[in-house]
A and B are shown apart, each in its own frame.
Chain A
Amino acid sequence: MRTAADLKRGETAVIHGFSDDSLSLKLLEMGCLPGEFIKLQFTAPLGDPVAVEVSDYQLSLRKDEASVIIIE
């Protein structure tokens, strides 16, 4: 099962679901919706957090949090 934490730089995927219920609430509010595209834009200098494009804007997440987002 791949998650958003496995994305390579510049890669785009479709969000399938979440593996953590309480965190999913925040992610949903911030526009990480099942069926949306998520693109890894760049990572922080030390490899964590990451910056993704989702719902037409830029969002930053820790790798832990990205690993909750299941991608297709």
Chain B
Amino acid sequence: MSKPLTIGLIGNPNAGKSSIFNHLTGLNQKVGNFPGVTVDKKEGFTHSFEGSKCKLIDLPGTYSIYPRSLDEQVVFETLSCPKLAPDLGVIVLDASNLKRNLLLCTQIIDLGLPLVVVLTMTDLAEKRGMEIDVPQLAKELGVPVLKVNGRTGHGLEELKKFFDRPPKQRSRSMYAVSELAGDFIEEVKGEFSISNDYLAYQYGQQRFAIPNLTERCKEKICAIKKATNFKSEKFQAKETVARYRLISEIIKRSVKQKVIEKKVSATEKLDKIFTHKFGGYLIFFGLLFLIFQAIYEWSSVPMDMIDESFASLSAWLLQVLPSGPLARLIAEGIVPGLGGIVIFVPQIAILFVCISLLEESGYMARVVFMMDKIMRKFGLNGRSIVPLISSAACAIPAVMAARGIENHKDRLTTIMVAPLVSCSARLPVYAILIALVVPDKAWLGFNLQGIALLGLYLLGFFSALVAALVFSKVLKSGQRSFLVMELPHYRMPRWRNVMVTVFEKSKTFVLEAGKVIMAISVILWALASYGPGDVMEKAEETVSRQVDNAGLSQADFDHKVSAYKLENSYAGRFGKAIEPAIAPLGYDWKIGIAIVSSFAAREVFVGTMATIYSIGSDAGEGTILDRMRAEKNPKTGGPMYTTAVAFSLLIFYVFAMQCMSTLAIVYRETKSWKWPVIQLFYMSGMAYAFAFAVYQWLS
């Protein structure tokens, strides 16, 4: 079978690219990385009209071929390299915003790829009185043009016909760039054996973005630039103005603008409300509040169900499997560990639904707009709000989303503080500790536990702002920060897009986090079940020697034996070793084990608790929460998890940097170990100090 045709989707942000991608690929997509960089590369498979397989690549949205951010750079890199370039480009144009969308379109056409143009949002364009003559537009552009409805997918069958027979590329460039830099282009074409004028010209404009160019080639280009008097900025400005002149001509000939009575559009009306002086912020914080209530209220039923079914699965497995180390590994190590992952899914899904709704509807751009001035006071940028809010789901996509920030210093500051915003991995830790000490009662109609949760999130968010202020004072910047940003129309979110995003993100989370949690659960189970020498085998003997057997029932005796075993296992010894360091925070060695294992990933906490307490007590009975509630403090005889201990732990988890994956991604994004190391120490230092303060204050 021959190699499948590769198709690249190209377009402005908000032009409806992802709707088309989702329509064509359904759930048959995967998110990978572009070579060398960590920009999300969405790929999927679809079929042509006649049924042959095609590979679809969704390129990041960009306004022009000249990149402003690392995300946008990928577009030019992919299209300029013969090895990476797709066989066919599909340019998605927002018909209601044709003028600005055509800039990128004419640039891509001039790169000389075989292309099809897809017009979306034609209904909106018609509402605004634009009558687009599609055949005329196709004639002007020299490439096929199709109307596609991004909501229904109507028109995609026509597009698929081009996947069987890709059109020829336009023979002549739209804008003759040779009138700017004819000599340069001729020399570069000869030197690097390129046939396309515009590509040769781009060697002068963005030599750093061209893949596989050696230092010598770059020097060569510099020399040619100097010899031919190539002026990058001046040429770029001239080119842009000339292209827009061309575009105006094209639009004049192919679009009829009917005079319609200028009504106040829905977007204008909504902006009056959403960006209102006071109302705007009120609505924003109200929405955040609702999101957290939803996470808490709607997820409790499925979470309880998951928790209980895993607990009873463990108990059942212990009964049916032939007893031995393997049965215990499965029932006490793997199953509780798995349960610790699956239990997240309802909350993560709700959070992702909310975030993607905010983005899909166009509201997120208004949040950036409203928050810019405030964020600048803290040394950030309005755009930092998107990573900071997505960090509430997971710091990893958040750190990656910081790529959208053009200014280097703003971006670095955002990356450094984003993990302070409480991510969904902290959620189960919060959930279980809040459930232990905060009553499940209503206060003024709101759930008290939900309010406590919101409080923790706000604490994380505000400490991120304060940390940003400190970083912005310390870090140096040579670059100017700016915010030139489109405010897209408000639109009804497309449920299909929301659902695909939620499904993809939850799947990635379960698989990626799942691997770590499973491995750690198994290791931990082994460390907690085995000890040095023959201390485990002799446990019963030792315990009966220590206690007076007479007054003790069999169950109490067994309990003492298993407690003794845990205490003397490898994990127990390790926990005991660090106990002096964490005792001032109110923790015992069992919590110590959980904290240390959570340095791999926070969500391990709950799984660790499950493993420790199922080994330490009568295995398989009751949920994790019940076991933690029953845990006694050997010194006081009261419950282990007092308000002081629980809050000290909560505060510790708000601040501590306990996620290897985040540190790894920060390394990849900043290309230096310096930043993740600083992050690890400053966050964990804050965690220790504040947890200490809280425990001393409450106890």
Residues of A within 8 A of B (CB): 21-31, 33-34, 41-42, 44-49, 51, 55-62, 64-65
Contact = CB atoms under 8 A, between A and B. Distances in A.
Nearest to B63: A29
B369 A30 contact: no
Nearest to B68: A26
B142 interface: no
Interface string B36-77: 000000000000000000000000000110101000000000
B65 to A, nearest CB: 10
B487 A60 contact: yes
Nearest to A23: B482
Nearest to B130: A56
Given A45-B281, A46-B374, 20 more contacts: A21-B233, A25-B236, A26-B68, A28-B240, A29-B66, A29-B103, A30-B63, A30-B100, A34-B241, A45-B276, A48-B373, A49-B369, A56-B99, A56-B100, A57-B97, A59-B484, A59-B486, A60-B486, A60-B487, A62-B482
Interface string B462-498: 0000000000000000001011111110000000000
B486 A44 contact: no
A4 to B, nearest CB: 12
B259 interface: no
Interface of B: 63-64, 66, 68, 97, 99-100, 103, 233, 236-237, 240-241, 244, 267-268, 271-272, 275-278, 280-281, 365, 368-370, 372-374, 382, 480, 482-488
15 contacts: A25-B237, A28-B237, A28-B241, A29-B66, A30-B484, A31-B99, A42-B275, A44-B372, A44-B373, A47-B373, A49-B369, A49-B373, A55-B99, A56-B97, A58-B488
Given A25-B237, A33-B244, A44 B484 contact: no
A33 B365 CA distance: 23
A33 B241 contact: yes
B100 A25 contact: no
B267 A58 contact: yes
Contact of A65 (B103, B365, B482): B482
A60 B240 contact: no
Nearest to B265: A58
Contacts of B236: 25
Q: Is the interface of B mostly helix, strand, loop or mixed?
A: helix
A22 B233 contact: yes
A61 B484 contact: yes
Contact of B484 (A27, A33, A45, A48): A27
Contacts of A60: 365, 368-369, 483-487
Contacts of A48: 372-373
Given A56-B97, A57-B100, A31 B244 contact: yes
A30 B271 CA distance: 21
Contacts of A33: 241, 244
Given A24-B237, A45-B370, A60-B483, A29 B64 contact: yes
Contacts of B241: 28, 33-34
A30 B66 CA distance: 12
Contacts of B368: 60
Contact of B66 (A25, A42, A44): A25
A31 B281 contact: no
A64 B484 CA distance: 11
Contacts of A26: 68, 482, 484
A60 B372 CA distance: 11
Contact of B240 (A29, A46, A57): A29
A72 B290 CA distance: 47
Given A26-B68, A31-B100, A56-B99, A46 B373 contact: yes
A21 to B, nearest CB: 6
B486 A62 contact: no
Nearest to A21: B233
Nearest to A22: B233
A55 B100 contact: yes
B271 A51 contact: yes
Contacts of B277: 45
B328 to A, nearest CB: 60
Contacts of A62: 372, 482-483
A41 B424 CA distance: 38
A25 B277 CA distance: 32
Given A48-B373, A55-B99, A25 B240 contact: yes
